[in-house]
Amino acid sequence: MRHSRQAGWLLCWWAGAVWSCADVSCSPPLSLQLDEGQCGLTGLPFLAADNDTRVNLALLAEADGHFLLPAALPVPFSLEQLNPEVAAAAPIERLTGLAQSLGVPSAVVTEAETRSQGWLAGRCSLNRLTTAEPFLTALQQEGALSAAERQSLAEARLAMVGLCQADTLPSLQELPSEGAAAPYADYLRGARAFYLADFDEAERLFAALSEQPAGWLTETARYLLARVAINRAQVRAADEYGFYDLSRVDQAALQQAGQRLDGYLADYPQGRYVDSARGLYRRVAWLMGDEAGLAALYQARVQQVPLSFSLFDEIDNKLLASPDKPMSLPPFILVQDLRLMRSISEWETRWQPLHSEQLAAQQAVFADAGWSAYWDYLQLAQRYYVQKDLAGVLSLTDQTPAALPPLLQFSRQVLRGMALMGLGRWPEAEGHWRQLRQAGVSAAQGKLLDLALAMTLERADQLARLFAGDSGLTDPQLREPLLRFSAAAPLLRQLAQDKQLPRAQRNTALFTLLYKDLTRGHYADFLQDKQLIGPALGQEPFSFTPFGKLPRPDGYACPALEETVASLAKAANPRALNCLGDLVMQQGWDDDPLGEKPAAGILGGAPDRFAGQAQGRLSWYRQVIADSQAPAEDRSYALYRAINCFASSGYNHCGSEEIAKAERKAWFQTLKGTYGKTPWAAKQKYYW
């Protein structure tokens, strides 16, 4: 389960919203049940227990028409793909043009942008290039300033961007203290004090600016006085790592912050910072420990448009960060309940699986809110994810309730299909997915159904139907892993010759066929299949050059590849085995060129239908070593290569066998003793 990021809240809060602290970026596996160990918690387009909490919040918001998933969303998707927001600077071109109109060289903006991309924590996360733009705009519109004053003030503001330490922030001592430029200089001094946590100085300067005649400076100062009070209230509550002890919050400063927010919104109901100020009310409620008030604020906010992904991040951090927080609003109970249905790590003792009794106690809350259908879905999900009662899931989904919200209807049907798969009822599962595909579903839901159908056909050993021209499953991301890891030799042979397939897929089929022929001992098949290499096949995504000839290591002659394989088709020829091992070595195929076979729950993770057991080159060397009748040159060479399979680390990098050190020592002694006069004995100085 993904850690709650409550500790990082101070580091991620910005302008009334949260800058989501970045999760580790990776590509989610092609699976219907995601696992944190595979790629962190990511997302599928149905209400899944395995979804990141923020994904389920986004799905509920989309169902209400308050959020829109990206149009080209892959399935599964990462949080970065779900979140279209760019938490970076304003368009550099616009800012560069604005700065140049004030006499600032473009290089100054470029340097500020570079600093802005760095890590900025807490209140200092405000100090990015985007927050400099309103100040520059105000300078441009201030008629009382001279051109020199505008340039000086603009350069000073840009010089502050991305900095947050006393030894790096400019001192601003050279800025004017009187005349039309003085208030703008005081604003910069106040901002500098704020970043440095000198809240007394920041408050003194912003309070004075708030008394200025109405304008940008006055409104901004009023807003910033509320932020000063919030930061003063929490400064003793956060430790150096961002963990909070809410008992140490300065309640007087927090009350003052609320009053200042009230005052700002009363005087500026259409002001520049209205959205941010309303967001800061949630910050105040959280610091006060007012869980009910915080939940109510979130409930009101998610009913408004537009919604940003950062709001889901905020809810996840502040409202759903602990299983101990009581909640009375069904949307948040629903999301938290799904979270409690995940597989829970043994070290996460605070999080315990959701039991039927706990669900039963929530029924009235859902009913009172008109959310009984969602409570019914939680029962179904708990039956699937926690109880593992697949037959029970099928019995609960035999009949489709009337007038269900589309998201609930789809989610119920996905769980039914997954239960059919879990029970191995492949024909029923296939029919179920195909029927759903014909119904009206979103683009993302359609991709999920394609994945489900592909996994069903793979596990039912019906891959030929998946690659048929009328299957509809043409996405290369679904086909490629099946070609590499699941397809049997006859299907690969057929697809390699199917000119209706894209060339890249034919190449993958043929390379997989030839590679597995060699490494699984189908030598006669290889000689026939090699004839399928033709000019129509290009070099993507695999090259066929390795199958054209064998490498010729210095001092050990290998015949042509076809001759080598032809001899192996007749018997285990020692030289041919060694030469085949050298082909694998020199092509870098100790790391399987097809990639690592996916786990059982991932597309491509079903049993490989290609006959035979894959062998690493160490197994070939060991066959030669075990052959006491092998020529001295061949057996000594096999000993030399086998010993070096363990070079430097002591771990086998030529296959999967675990060889005891005593046996490796015996290889070394045989090479140095029995074959001491061979060049391979002379070259070998160690064993590992």
Predicted confidence (pLDDT) per residue in 500-513, tens digit = 999 999 999 999 99
Distance, in Å, from the CA atom of 688 to the CA atom of 681, rounded to the nearest integer, reads: 15
pLDDT in tens, 161-191: 999 988 899 999 999 999 999 999 999 999 9
Q: What is the mean pLDDT of residues 302-313?
A: 87
- Does the pLDDT at position 403 exceed 90? no
SS3 for 298?
helix
Q: What is the mean pLDDT of residues 613-631?
A: 95
Distance, in Å, from the CA atom of 283 to the CA atom of 123, rounded to the nearest integer, reads: 13
Distance, in Å, from the CA atom of 420 to the CA atom of 424, rounded to the nearest integer, reads: 6
- Does the pLDDT at position 251 exceed 60? yes
Which of the 8 DSSP states describes residue 23?
Answer: P
Contact 49, 25 (CB under 8 A): no
What average pLDDT does the chain have?
90
Q: Which of 312, 282, 280, 275 is nearest to 297 (CA)?
A: 282
Residue the block writes with tokens 């129509």: 536
Quickly list H helices, 460-502.
463-466, 476-485, 489-496
Q: What pLDDT shows up at residue 85?
A: 58
Q: How far is CA 515 from the centre of its chain?
A: 32
What is the domain partition of the chain in residue ranges? 91-196, 212-301, 565-592+616-688
Distance, in Å, from the CA atom of 679 to the CA atom of 671, rounded to the nearest integer, reads: 10
- Does the pLDDT at position 23 exceed 70? no
Q: How far is CA 368 from CA 328, 329, 372, 539, 590, in A?
A: 11, 10, 8, 63, 62
pLDDT in tens, 461-498: 999 999 998 999 999 999 999 999 999 999 999 999 99
Q: What pLDDT shows up at residue 277?
A: 95
- Does the pLDDT at position 88 exceed 50? no
Q: What angle do CA 567, 568, 574 make, to 5 degrees?
A: 90
Q: Model confidence at 618, in pLDDT bands (50, 70, 90)?
A: very high
- Does the pLDDT at position 521 exceed 90? yes
Q: What pLDDT shows up at residue 37?
A: 66
Higher pLDDT, 530 or 350: 530
Least reliable range by pLDDT among 192-206, 530-544, 567-581, 669-683:
530-544
Q: Which of 46, 215, 227 is nearest to 134 (CA)?
A: 215
- The first and second tokens of residue 626, run together, are 């075990």
pLDDT in tens, 470-479: 999 999 999 9
Q: What pLDDT shows up at residue 86?
A: 43
Least reliable range by pLDDT among 3-7, 58-62, 318-322:
3-7
Percent of the chain with pLDDT over 90: 75
Q: What pLDDT shows up at residue 351?
A: 77
Contact 454, 426 (CB under 8 A): no
Q: What pLDDT shows up at residue 370?
A: 95
Distance, in Å, from the CA atom of 42 to the CA atom of 160, rounded to the nearest integer, reads: 37
Contact 320, 308 (CB under 8 A): no
Distance, in Å, from the CA atom of 31 to the CA atom of 19, rounded to the nearest integer, reads: 29
Q: What pLDDT shows up at residue 407?
A: 96
* Burial class, 389, CB count within 10 angstroms (exposed 0-12 / middle 13-18 / buried 19+): middle
Distance, in Å, from the CA atom of 597 to the CA atom of 288, rounded to the nearest integer, reads: 51
| Sign of CA pseudo-dihedral 591, 592, 597, 603 | positive
Distance, in Å, from the CA atom of 366 to the CA atom of 295, rounded to the nearest integer, reads: 16
Buried b (16+ CB within 10 A) or exposed e, 163-180: bbeeeebeebeebeeeee
Distance, in Å, from the CA atom of 462 to the CA atom of 491, rounded to the nearest integer, reads: 10
pLDDT in tens, 112-147: 999 988 888 888 988 998 899 999 999 999 999 999
661 CB neighbour count, 10 Å cutoff? 11
Distance, in Å, from the CA atom of 620 to the CA atom of 655, rounded to the nearest integer, reads: 10
- The first and second tokens of residue 297, run together, are 């604020």
- Does the pLDDT at position 8 exceed 80? no
- pTM for the model stands at 0.84
Distance, in Å, from the CA atom of 461 to the CA atom of 292, rounded to the nearest integer, reads: 53
Compute φ and ψ for 386, nearest 5 degrees: -100, -50
Q: What pLDDT shows up at residue 553?
A: 61
Please, how many CA atoms are within 13 Å of residue 476, restricted to the half-sphere of its CB?
10
Which of the 8 DSSP states describes residue 28?
Answer: P
Q: Model confidence at 32, in pLDDT bands (50, 70, 90)?
A: very high
Distance, in Å, from the CA atom of 75 to the CA atom of 446, rounded to the nearest integer, reads: 9
Q: What pLDDT shows up at residue 325?
A: 72
- Does the pLDDT at position 631 exceed 70? yes
Distance, in Å, from the CA atom of 461 to the CA atom of 443, rounded to the nearest integer, reads: 27
Q: What pLDDT shows up at residue 552?
A: 67
Q: What pLDDT shows up at residue 25?
A: 53
Contact 448, 30 (CB under 8 A): no
Q: What pLDDT shows up at residue 333?
A: 95
SS3 for 30?
coil
287 CB neighbour count, 10 Å cutoff? 21
63 CB neighbour count, 10 Å cutoff? 15
Q: Model confidence at 77, in pLDDT bands (50, 70, 90)?
A: very high
Compute φ and ψ for 411, nearest 5 degrees: -60, -40
